[in-house]
Amino acid sequence: MKIYEKWTTRLKYNISGAADVMLPTIDPIDRSAFYISDGWQTPYAATRFRKLSLETGEELANILTRATIRCIYADQDSIFAVLSKRILHLNRNTLQVKCEYKQNIPRNMDSVSFVDAETLLLLNHYSGALYRFHLPTEKSSRKKACNGGDGCGLARTEEDSYLLFTGDGFLQYSLKANTLRKLADAERYTQYVQGNSGKVFILCQEPEKAADAKGKTTPCSSRIRAYSSISENHWEEIVPGVVFHYFRLSGDENLLYLFKNDNLWIYSLPQNQIVFQHVFQDGNILNIFAENSIVLTYKMACHQLTCWQIQDK
């Protein structure tokens, strides 16, 4: 494998800000474009949501939001962009506002999914509260789903069913019955990825260093559990041998992209070993679009965003 720089651009404003600002997110329909939100320290009156070319870094469209975007849901025609106190329904191509929702908005949502033309499902990671938001009436109903924390989220599995990641287990949510059912408990985890096959990978939470009987500390390798079947609690453990904070999964589910700050490792699942590693010299890893073999690094001090392409040969 080898890596090369595709482009570098200097943005006008910062695009980071912990959980309050969405990570760069690839367009699920047109994978040659991605979305960013202006983040912390951006003047209120100037904050925008932006669409950029993944090929060149050129800005393709933007819309004034006057607040940061926390999460989005995109489909063929639309984007639902969730802010702390509002929800914007945008045209996916132009980012023009179709509708703006301001009443009874659940505050500080971290995950959003589209149910139908009238309903959104939203989750607050830290409170563990699940909301159904009815768009025509701007009314929401709340349901306590979990204790909250890192590793929480939701994914649609069937027309009437969602898989909820609770940070220490998995729940099934039925839209029709408005009920939650526990599928399995899990070791505490800080991140999850669901593959195209439905297989689920979780990053187990543990200290980065462990002490032996004599008090000597050594680095702990991060561990991933891969669930072939959550309902049957079937999983296998993956121990790459390095400490990392985040991971992504390739579309064919053969590679794990592991990263921490400016360090990148690529772990081959068929070979059970790290097959590539790289240290970036001018910025930390902000996000990885694994299906495109793209790494985005960011230098916050000068708002420098760089796109890197990884090639097999």
| 74-107 pLDDT, tens digit each | 988 899 999 999 999 999 999 999 999 999 999 8
Percent of the chain with pLDDT over 90: 82
Residue 303 has pLDDT above 90, yes or no: yes
Judged by average pLDDT, the poorest of 39-43, 50-54, 147-151, 244-248 is 147-151
pLDDT of residue 311: 94
Average pLDDT over residues 23-44: 95
pLDDT range class, residue 209, cuts 50, 70, 90: low
pLDDT range class, residue 65, cuts 50, 70, 90: very high
CB 145 within 8 A of CB 124: no
Residue 104: both structure tokens together:
């009874």
**C-alpha–C-alpha distance, residues 274 and 48, integer Å:** 39
- What is the β-pairing status of strands 224-229 and 169-174? unpaired
Judged by average pLDDT, the poorest of 15-24, 208-217, 223-232 is 208-217
pLDDT of residue 151: 81
pLDDT of residue 146: 86
**C-alpha–C-alpha distance, residues 276 and 281, integer Å:** 16
pLDDT of residue 210: 61
CB 267 within 8 A of CB 277: no
Average pLDDT over residues 150-172: 91
pLDDT range class, residue 123, cuts 50, 70, 90: very high
Residue 196 has pLDDT above 90, yes or no: yes
Residue 208 has pLDDT above 90, yes or no: no
**C-alpha–C-alpha distance, residues 205 and 63, integer Å:** 38
Percent of the chain with pLDDT over 70: 96
**pTM of the complete model:** 0.93
In DSSP notation, 112-175 reads EEEEETTEEEEEETTTTEEEEEETTTTEEEEEE-----TTEEEEEEETTEEEEEESSEEEEEET
Residue 220 has pLDDT above 90, yes or no: no
* Per-residue 3-state assignment (H helix, E strand, C coil) for 245-290: CEEEECCCCCEEEEEECCEEEEEECCCCEEEEEEECCCCEEEEEEH
Average pLDDT, the chain: 93
Q: Which helix (H) or strand (E) holds 109?
A: none
CB 164 within 8 A of CB 154: yes
Using alpha carbons only, what angle is made at residue 152 by residues 147 and 155, rounded to the nearest 5 degrees?
130
**C-alpha–C-alpha distance, residues 105 and 178, integer Å:** 19
pLDDT range class, residue 217, cuts 50, 70, 90: low
**C-alpha–C-alpha distance, residues 307 and 305, integer Å:** 7
- What is the β-pairing status of strands 209-211 and 217-219? antiparallel
CB 210 within 8 A of CB 218: yes
Residue 202 has pLDDT above 90, yes or no: yes
Residue 37: both structure tokens together:
């939100």
Q: Which of 18-22, 116-120, 207-211, 308-312 is predicted most confidently?
A: 308-312
Question: CB within 8 A of 291, min separation 6: which ones?
Answer: 26, 31, 250, 251
Q: What pLDDT digit, counting tens, does each position of 259-299 carry?
A: 999 999 999 999 999 999 999 999 999 999 999 999 999 99
Question: CA dist 293 to 66, 239, 257, Å?
Answer: 33, 22, 9
**C-alpha–C-alpha distance, residues 250 and 263, integer Å:** 18
Task: Name the amino acid, one letter, at 210.
Answer: A
Question: CB within 8 A of 85, min separation 6: which ones?
Answer: 67, 102, 105, 107
